[in-house]
Amino acid sequence: MKCFFLFLIALLPYISSAQIQGEDEVHLNGDRIEAKFNHGGMEEFNKFVNENFDNSKVTQSGKMIAAFKIDIDGDVKNIKIIKMIDSQSAIEMIRVLKLSPKWQPASRGGKPISIEIKYPIVFNKSEKQQSESFNQEKESTANDALPNATEDAVKVASVETKPQFPGGAEAFYIFVAKKFKVPSDRAFKGGKMVISFVVEKDGSLSEMKAIQDIGFGTTEEAFRILANCPKWSPALQNGKPVRVQYSLPITLMP
């Protein structure tokens, strides 16, 4: 398992060994009135993210940018990953943002207003932690024979009982269609994308990958939807649940 330092682009003091630091410029759609988190500013929110983010979900260095709206009630809504490194870290960021308690909303003229915040995070490998994680990987390899070791996902066509979304395949397509936000960019001309994912033994979805990407944030949007998908009925082989790889083609019109 690789370990990483997490931090936002800024010059704030370190919080802990896995760091998330706040950017000194927060984009609020041109409005300079700040929303408050936990009776504080972005530093308090950075601490919250730092305490809840699972570093093991990050597989490589790079910069991620999340965006979310704080509505007039202080709720975090419309979570998006504008720029991603990999699917697992993006899904983990969405999970953490969904855990966020209410903010004190921004205001103008004494009245609460909705604002959008862009939240960049940079993941940097620590050489010391990388050495330690190499030892952890060697230990986990020695335990691969244990009954609870992670198994390779099999193709959906090869299992006796296929995984099923609540309500069936048609209900899954309707779920995706209703949740998917098509890019509003005038340059977007539509196209076909293909996303693969694994339906785990407990029915949760993991290991999301873009097999065919058409850009404009469509892959990130697909990951967001799948990360919020209800649990499936898992696939069965010889009466036992198994991990199954599933592909989802999505055709988008402008």
Domains of the chain: 4-128 (no CATH), 154-252 (3.30.1150)
**Which residues in the chain land under pLDDT 70?**
1-33, 125-151
Residue spans of alpha helices (H) in the chain = 42-52, 87-98, 127-142, 169-179, 218-227
pLDDT digits (tens, 9 = 90+) for 108-126: 878 899 988 888 888 875 5
What is the per-residue pLDDT for 21?
A: 36
What is the per-residue pLDDT for 210?
A: 87
What is the per-residue pLDDT for 132?
A: 29
Q: Judge contact between 236 and 161, C-beta under 8 A.
A: yes
What is the per-residue pLDDT for 125?
A: 58
Give the C-alpha separation, 8 to 21, whole Å.
Answer: 4
pLDDT digits (tens, 9 = 90+) for 122-165: 887 554 333 223 232 333 333 333 233 346 777 777 889 999 99
Give the C-alpha separation, 176 to 186, whole Å.
Answer: 22
pTM attached to this predicted model: 0.54
CB atoms within 10 A of CB 66: 22
Give the C-alpha separation, 89 to 82, whole Å.
Answer: 13
3-state DSSP of 148-198: CCCCCCEEHHHCCECCECCCCHHHHHHHHHHHCCCCCCCCCCCEEEEEEEE
Residue 159, sorted as left (phi over 0), alpha (psi -120 to 50) or beta, turns out to be beta
